[in-house]
A and B are shown apart, each in its own frame.
Chain A
Amino acid sequence: EVQLVESGGGLVKPGSSLKLSCVASGFTFSSYGMHWIRQAPKKGLEWIALIYYDSSNKYYADSVKGRFTISRDNSKNTLYLEMNSLRSEDTAMYYCAKATTVALWGQGTLVTVSS
């Protein structure tokens, strides 16, 4: 079964850091670009980062540029999102998604930034 499973979310204080993971299965992970996309409570979808299949290119939304870092380990079929200097407005469900066409989504991991 083709699947993406996120983890690493939680409740953190403003200014702190957190690292999310997304484990892929059922497809050749190393052949696909991968995204992180987030959804604030009761809000729409916001793309935040993409990494190419071979890590050769990375793109970020302006809202997270300089604070978040996307990376991957193809030997572990795992995508990461390192989040620093977290703000209350980063509170959201974070999804990983497969391929530049955003074909498949994980179930999400919730990040809450609050004092």
Chain B
Amino acid sequence: NTVMTQSPTSMFTSVGDRVTMSCKASQNVGINVGWYQQKTGQSPKRLIYWASNRDTGVPDRFTGSGSGTDFTLTISNMQAEDPAIYYCLQHNSYPPWTFGGGTKLELK
């Protein structure tokens, strides 16, 4: 199975900051990675597909990058509505589809 390892596990940031979080795959998954945002009490929402494509309606401050085994989600200008848990998912080698453990993003 492909293991997806996210780091950091949690982080504190301030409005206006640039935020970067990582997702590393245990084997090459190409660009078959998505990023999801889950706010408290809500279901996950996909932000990024195929590693770097923004879903419709997602603000352009969210950027995905990477290929192979190393992937990054960047929030260029942290906003008050962005605190959430962010998950990566690989859909290259399945089953199973595998999620990272999540990065919890909070405001200071």
Contact = CB atoms under 8 A, between A and B. Distances in A.
Interface of A: 35, 44-47, 50, 59-62, 95, 100-108
Instruction: Report, as a range, how many residues of chain B touch the other chain.
Output: 20 to 34
B43 A105 contact: yes
A101 B36 CA distance: 12
Contact of B97 (A44, A62, A102, A106): A102
A103 B49 contact: yes
Given A107-B43, A108-B43, A102 B96 contact: no
A44 B95 contact: no
Nearest to A57: B95
B34 interface: yes
Interface string B22-58: 0000000000101010000001111001100001000
B99 A46 contact: yes
Contacts of A44: 87, 99-102
B34 A102 contact: yes
B45 A105 contact: yes
B95 A102 contact: no
Contacts, number: 54
A69 to B, nearest CB: 15
6 contacts: A47-B97, A50-B94, A101-B32, A101-B50, A102-B34, A102-B91
Given A44-B101, A105-B43, 14 more contacts: A44-B99, A44-B100, A44-B102, A45-B87, A45-B89, A50-B94, A59-B95, A100-B91, A101-B91, A103-B46, A104-B46, A105-B45, A105-B46, A107-B43
**Top 7 closest pairs, chain A to chain B, by CB:** A59-B95, A47-B97, A45-B99, A105-B43, A44-B102, A44-B101, A47-B96
Nearest to B43: A105
B69 interface: no
Given A102-B34, A107-B43, A61 B89 contact: no
Given A35-B97, A44-B102, A47-B98, A101 B49 contact: yes
A51 to B, nearest CB: 12
